[in-house]
């Protein structure tokens, strides 16, 4: 199968999503271990969660584009 631009785009999104999920898990560990978390940690958590959701949406779009391209 030939690699298309959509497949490359999907691969990039998957890698970025994996990195952001790792960062999100690290912040969750910090928040859970400290007991009392600061507002900065909470803000970072909310922002990262929004980024993860947006990347998942973009990944869904890329998968749809690949299916339509076939």
Domain locations along the chain: 5-69
The predicted structure's pLDDT at residue 15: 98
Asked whether the beta carbons of 57 and 64 are under 8 A apart, the reply is no
pLDDT in tens, 19-53: 999 999 999 998 888 776 788 888 999 999 999 99
Asked whether the beta carbons of 10 and 59 are under 8 A apart, the reply is yes
- Report the candidate in 1, 17, 21, 7 with the shortest Cα–Cα distance to residue 66: 7
- Report the candidate in 60, 68, 56, 62 with the shortest Cα–Cα distance to residue 7: 62
pTM of the model: 0.83
């Amino acid at each position: 199968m030939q690699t298309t631009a959509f497949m490359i785009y999907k691969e990039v999104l998957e890698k970025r999503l994996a990195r952001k999920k790792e960062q999100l898990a690290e912040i969750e560990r910090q928040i859970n271990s400290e007991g009392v978390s600061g507002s900065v940690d909470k803000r970072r958590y909310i922002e990262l969660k929004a980024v993860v959701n947006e990347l998942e949406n973009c990944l869904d779009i890329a998968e749809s584009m690949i299916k339509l391209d076939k």
